[in-house]
Amino acid sequence: MPKAYWIAHVTVNDPEPYALYAAGATEAFKKFGARVLARGGNFEWLEGESHPRNVVIEFDSMKQALACYNSAQYQDAKKHREGAGIANIMIVEASE
């Protein structure tokens, strides 16, 4: 079964509620066995619209990644992110 990658490009406009989101989301990621490969840090944006925060999280499968996103724990955390910034999030299945 191929792995899946949760990829997020984010601009944070209100750090306090976003920090609550990040804490809750981190707990959800741990519960679903995710591995954070990149979170923040230096980057070189080459094309398209840029966001200053970029995140890549690895899951064992697409099913696991979607279960994390749809979990009550992640959805509760997500409420803190709404209105605190702009987020573009996708889950991509790896090539076999």
Domains of the chain: which residue ranges?
4-42+51-93
Distance CA 12, CA 19 (A): 10
pLDDT digits (tens, 9 = 90+) for 29-38: 999 999 999 9
0.75 exceeded by pTM: yes
Please give the full DSSP string across 28-76, using - where no structure is assigned: HHHHTT-EEEEES------SS---SEEEEEEES-HHHHHHHHHSHHHHH
Tell which CATH architecture fits domain 4-42+51-93.
Answer: 2-Layer Sandwich (3.30)
pLDDT digits (tens, 9 = 90+) for 16-74: 999 999 999 999 999 999 999 999 889 999 999 999 999 999 999 999 999 999 999 99
Buried b (16+ CB within 10 A) or exposed e, 43-72: eeeeeeeebebbbebbbeebebbeebbeee
